[in-house]
Copies of this chain bind each other. A is one copy, B any other.
Amino acid sequence: MNQDALPPGSLDAAIREMEAALGKDNVLTEAEGMADHGDPFAPPGEWYSPGAVLLPGSVEEVQALLRIANRHKTPIWTSSQGRNKGYGGGAPRVSGSFVVSLRRMNRVLEVDEENCMALVEPGVRFFDLYEHLRSTGSKLWMSVPDLGGGSVIGNALEHGVGYTPIGDHFGQHCGMEVVLANGDVLRTGMGGMSNPHNWLIYPHSAGPTPDGLFTQSNYGIVTKMGVSLFHAPEVYAPGWFMLDNEEHFGSFLEVLRPLMIDGTIPNQPMIINAVCAASAFGERKEWYTGEDSIPEEVLDKIAATPGFGRWVMRFALYGDAPVVAHNRAKIEKAFTAIPGGSVVFEEFDGRNLPEFDNPHHRVQAGIPSMALDQMTRWYGGEEGGHIGFSCAMPIAGKDGCAIRDLTRKVLNERGLDYSAAIIVGKRSMIHVALVVFDTKNERQTREAYAATKAMLEPAAKLGYGEYRSHLDFMDEVAALYDFNDNAQRRFAETIKDVLDPNGILSPGKQGIWPKAWREG
């Protein structure tokens, strides 16, 4: 529940200057226009919401609005598209702030076919980049998250992932342009040279590499970024692993770990439990209508549905036919040795893909869609919402079972279902408890938020840190990074105060508050 808000009228003086700088059409002050820039799943009442929305169209307009915000000391909360819906969407941590949406800055500035890179603006959605590649005849593949409506840059800056071999989106970026709070324009890496020949191919300059500072932070507004693409593979082989029991979930993760570290599985697999699998195809009421959490025997019924299981993993292989064949056989052998485990693969010509009906086949081939939005409709249909409770941990049976047991218990105690999607990387996995609820049901919505907060501390005790967080518990998450009396926050505040002395950029983002707010 939001307790930080600007008093009414705080923006009035600045709004007129913003209108002069950006044009009246690009300053939204009516509830209707702002609705798409808030938290889409918030419970009724006081919550995180913009005071006005600014839509700059260029770097110069970003600089202009920063000048005005500095003069008036009004906070501006920046999002690229504001589509990270499970974490608060485009809404500001401090209600009544300006929200800067970069949706109008949506140009694909360059596609470098030889080096498999693109240079994009923050308003470029995964859909936009995909359309650009296809319409310009590029042969390259890109990486997308489950939903293609978000910003390519915004996703990377929030440490979001995709599901191809280049799915670590921040790790795969090369080069940034950032407008600092004082309006200065910084280009990182070799974009720091007058001749930016190397900007998209070498990630450092001679000197410190600041790119990571601009992720999950409030230090600047990223206005350009270099994004990795990859060659269409000879063979694209999406696969499914199904596990029909809970008992061997831990041993499955033990089998998976070396296959990830060695690159036998080259993309970012996603492991989902029975509830999450069912939610991709329909609503809860098709399975159960009780108000308590879904019972074991119903889970067993879901798990017995062909293609489902107690746990299902989506993954894919990419490459030359003999390499894919070898890795496929290796994976089949390893996974079918797990009691209750089975594997299926399909294979496609990567240079000549069919139109896929299956949205998972699209996602892992880097083709954006919105089909998997269905998952958040488990409880409320069109009015369904979710919060992500998203912890990192090693790919290990012990850890997977511990977080499963912890989150399932807390959610079930509050009558909520345990829907899990585990995003697997090379050495770590992010266990996302998709805390789903019906936004029309205020009690359930509030339970969902409360349950999520209740899981933070027990997870942290086990060493499982949140990899990102909803607006509503950014402070709590930051507090749990408590080594040496919260040295990380102390360091972050030191940088904040010198880069943004007026504290205008996204105050409270990830628990980083400007000096005036810390003291006030």
A209 to chain B, nearest CB (A): 3
The interface residues of chain B lying within 8 Å CB-to-CB of A320 are 326, 330
Most buried by B among A204, A231, A482: A204
Q: Find out whether the CB atom of B212 lies under 8 angstroms from the CB atom of A208.
A: yes
A302 to chain B, nearest CB (A): 31
Looking at A14-22, A114-122, A357-365, A445-453, the stretch in contact with chain B turns out to be A114-122
Q: Find out whether the CB atom of A219 lies under 8 angstroms from the CB atom of B213.
A: no
Q: Is A352 interfacial (CB-CB < 8 Å)? A: no
CB proximity to B under 8 Å, residues A477-520: 477-478, 480-484, 487-492, 494-495, 497-499, 510-512
Q: Find out whether the CB atom of B465 lies under 8 angstroms from the CB atom of A205.
A: yes
Q: Is A343 interfacial (CB-CB < 8 Å)? A: no
Q: Find out whether the CB atom of B208 lies under 8 angstroms from the CB atom of A465.
A: no
List the 4 closest A-B pairs by CB distance, nearest first. A197-B463, A209-B212, A208-B217, A195-B463
- How many residues of A are counted as interface, with CB atoms below 8 angstroms from the partner's CB atoms? 94
A461 CA / B193 CA spacing, docked (Å): 9
A174 CA / B261 CA spacing, docked (Å): 14
Q: Find out whether the CB atom of B115 lies under 8 angstroms from the CB atom of A394.
A: yes
Q: Find out whether the CB atom of B498 lies under 8 angstroms from the CB atom of A206.
A: no
A86 CA / B479 CA spacing, docked (Å): 44
Given A215-B209, A463-B193, A483-B193, is A186 in contact with B491 using a C-beta cutoff of 8 Å?
A: yes
The interface residues of chain B lying within 8 Å CB-to-CB of A190 are 392, 463, 465
A188 CA / B489 CA spacing, docked (Å): 11
Q: Find out whether the CB atom of B462 lies under 8 angstroms from the CB atom of A207.
A: no
Q: Find out whether the CB atom of B207 lies under 8 angstroms from the CB atom of A511.
A: yes
CB-CB contacts of A174-216 with B at 8 A, as 1s and 0s? 1000001000111110111111111001111111111111111
Given A187-B487, A494-B498, A510-B207, is A460 in contact with B195 using a C-beta cutoff of 8 Å?
A: yes
Q: Find out whether the CB atom of B204 lies under 8 angstroms from the CB atom of A216.
A: yes
Q: Is A293 interfacial (CB-CB < 8 Å)? A: no
Q: Is A125 interfacial (CB-CB < 8 Å)? A: no
Most buried by B among A230, A320, A399: A320
Q: Find out whether the CB atom of B116 lies under 8 angstroms from the CB atom of A427.
A: yes
CB<8 Å pairs between A and B, sample of 18: A115-B257, A159-B204, A180-B491, A184-B484, A186-B491, A187-B483, A187-B484, A191-B483, A195-B461, A196-B463, A197-B463, A201-B393, A202-B465, A207-B216, A208-B216, A209-B216, A231-B261, A497-B498
Q: Which of B197, B468, B490 contacts A206 (CB 8 A)?
A: B468
Q: Find out whether the CB atom of B495 lies under 8 angstroms from the CB atom of A197.
A: no
Q: Is A262 interfacial (CB-CB < 8 Å)? A: yes
A257 to chain B, nearest CB (A): 7
Given A427-B117, A484-B187, A495-B498, is A209 in contact with B204 using a C-beta cutoff of 8 Å?
A: no
A301 CA / B198 CA spacing, docked (Å): 35
Most buried by B among A170, A202, A498: A202
A464 CA / B399 CA spacing, docked (Å): 46
